[in-house]
Chain A
Amino acid sequence: MKQEPISIFIVEDDAVYCAVLGHFLSLNPDFRVKKFFTARDFLNVLHEKPDIVTLDYSLPDTTGDSLLAQVKEISPDTKVIIISGQEDIKIAVDLFKKGADDYIVKDGDTQERLWLSIGHMRENIALKKELAELQLEVQKKYTFQKAIIGNSHTLKQVFSLMEKATVTNITVSVTGETGTGKDLVAKSIHFNSARKKFPFVPVNVAAIPRELLESELFGHEKGSFTGASTRRIGKFEEAHNGTLFLDEIGEMDINMQAKLLRVLQEQEISRVGSNELIKINVRIIAATHRNLLDQVKKGKFREDLYYRLLGLPIKLPPLRERGSDIILIAKHFTDLFCNDNNLPKKHFDVEAKKKLMLYSFPGNIRELKSVVELACVMSDTEEINAEHIELSTHSNNHFTTGSDSLTLKQFTSQMIQHYLDTNNYDVLKVADKLDVGKSTIYRMVNNNELKLQRNGDNKFND
């Protein structure tokens, strides 16, 4: 573990003892030591929030209790070691209850015990700092715009809903095809919400055998069923004060749905094999690739649970509806892959970009990632060409130009026409998806380079 310098304030009215402690603690070059003879002088600089304070219990201008309370109020993370001439267990216990981190009696072993105590605290401080840095890093990582790549209008709408989700505790339901990034949305909401310091606990409902799901979610007592050799807390308890992400909620067994509904209504759980009710405070984010309302109509999903979970619905668009986001995401994955594998930075040539843009990506972002990574491996230079891009032959849902010898203008027309054909000739939508101006499309329509109706004349005229 990295040992960083720590600041130690000595508050001691006894000049001799203060000099001894100051000398002793200054032996470690990583300890930044300051000495104070009165509580007043010390309180004047407490805003510097030292890592550790050694506090003489008997000061001329205040009591140890009172000063301890002020330290804990102004600088709650500061560790306080009380150094006292009184070997009084009651005082020590009382000070511990009030937040003191250690109590050392002034005697022949004071310095040694102080050294040990500060050593332990230093490890603890380093761990806390490391944790805070990690939390910050995680938060940065899940900043919406960094975690979810794209500029399309549909994605901006998703960001706007996510913003609303972060400032409230509302239940969120995320829907979208497989591979659209539902888990990333859930994590980003959690790590940008007030619950970010508490756990984010994901549960993939589809991956847990039906008979084990109850114990997985609510925990179990020792001996409650065969194999329950110890008590185990469930995901709800684990996520207390944080977020529980129920992925693939549409796969949940109907009986289990009733139990989940009761928990969500009552905000309390009982472990399997126990009657004890445990209060929980958990934010739920549920996700599914299914249309839950259809499932309700088919009797496979409880209607009451559906409405309980619906909360703020966020629908993630499939990649094929995100237009030029495909290229941005492909570039992001290329950079990541090259960086992780010590490869030089690679870029896509025009043909490769065309090929990516014209494919429907039924596996969405997950499929794009694997296509891009393979392309990085197949390409021996810094350029990725169309031949490096291997697309699934199972999907026939991709646009083909029919000819390799088109001009760029002809290719552009065909591609925009393809998007118009597959988007009900909605010019605004297509312009947004392809990141081109709507006036460009209208101009091409007027020039008879595009049609606004299938096999028909253009209705639009300036």
Chain B
Amino acid sequence: MTDQPKLYSLQRLLEIDNADDGFIRDIVSVFLNNVPANATELVKAGDEKNWRSVYFIAHKMKANIDLLCINCLHQEIREVEQMAKTQTNLHQITDKINFIYNIIQRTSAEMSNDFNL
């Protein structure tokens, strides 16, 4: 059996000066405490067609997704942010939100496992 490629990478965090194990663990812990909850809020706002909230949550998640190099969401989160902001192509938005939610859940599980958190 081969290992699945990781959904996230610590590369950008490791580029920060003095990014020791303690710092990485702290950031991962803050990520796990916040970003999955953000993803749940994103789904809820999408269900309620509250596009302003969708925009703000996607905007906030974007920086975290980039920071933890969750590359498969790089484009998706930007598209959701843009669709909600301009309220265009909204027929595609629910699928994209669900995709983001699923990836965040899987990434969180990976991180929890990797860091025993």
Please give the residue numbers on chain A whose beta carbons come within 8 Å of chain B beta carbons, in ascending order: 13-17, 19-20, 23-24, 27, 58, 60, 85-86, 106-108, 111
Contacts and interface: CB of A to CB of B under 8 A. Distances in A.
Nearest to B28: A16
Main SS at interface, chain B: helix
B59 A16 contact: no
A17 to B, nearest CB: 5
B117 interface: no
A35 to B, nearest CB: 11
26 contacts: A13-B60, A14-B34, A15-B30, A15-B33, A16-B35, A16-B67, A17-B63, A17-B67, A19-B26, A19-B30, A20-B27, A23-B18, A23-B19, A23-B23, A23-B26, A23-B27, A27-B17, A27-B18, A58-B59, A60-B56, A85-B60, A85-B62, A86-B59, A106-B63, A108-B66, A111-B16
A58 B16 contact: no
A28 to B, nearest CB: 10
A20 B63 CA distance: 11
Contacts of B59: 58, 85-86
A58 B27 contact: no
A237 B33 CA distance: 61
Contacts of A24: 16-17
A231 B27 CA distance: 58
Contact of B12 (A13, A27, A85, A108): A108
B23 A16 contact: no
Contacts of B19: 23
A106 B59 CA distance: 11
A444 B18 CA distance: 86
Contacts of B99: none
A299 B26 CA distance: 86
Contacts of B33: 15
Nearest to A84: B59
Contacts of A108: 12, 66
Given A17-B63, A27-B17, A85-B62, 13 more contacts: A14-B63, A15-B33, A15-B34, A16-B64, A16-B67, A20-B13, A20-B16, A20-B27, A20-B67, A23-B27, A60-B56, A106-B63, A107-B66
Contacts of A13: 60
Interface in B6-55: 12-13, 16-19, 23, 26-27, 30-31, 33-35
Contacts of A16: 27, 30-31, 34-35, 63-64, 67
A64 to B, nearest CB: 12
Contacts of A23: 16, 18-19, 23, 26-27
Contacts of A15: 30, 33-34
Nearest to B65: A16
A107 B15 CA distance: 13
Nearest to B31: A16
A19 B16 CA distance: 12
Contacts of A60: 56
A14 B64 contact: yes
Nearest to A17: B63
A58 B17 contact: no
B61 to A, nearest CB: 9
Nearest to A110: B63
10 closest Cβ pairs, A-B complex: A106-B63, A15-B34, A16-B64, A19-B30, A15-B30, A16-B30, A16-B31, A85-B59, A14-B60, A17-B63
Contacts of B35: 16
Nearest to B63: A106
A15 B31 CA distance: 8
Contacts of B27: 16, 19-20, 23
Contacts of A107: 66
A60 B60 CA distance: 10
A107 B12 CA distance: 10
Contacts of A58: 56, 59-60
Contacts of B23: 23
A183 B67 CA distance: 63
Contacts of B12: 108
A20 B10 CA distance: 13
Which of B62, B63, B64, B67: most chain A CB closer than 10 A?
B63
Could you say which of A16, A19, A27 has the most chain B C-beta atoms within 10 Å of its C-beta? A16
A30 B11 CA distance: 28
Contacts of B63: 14, 16-17, 85, 106
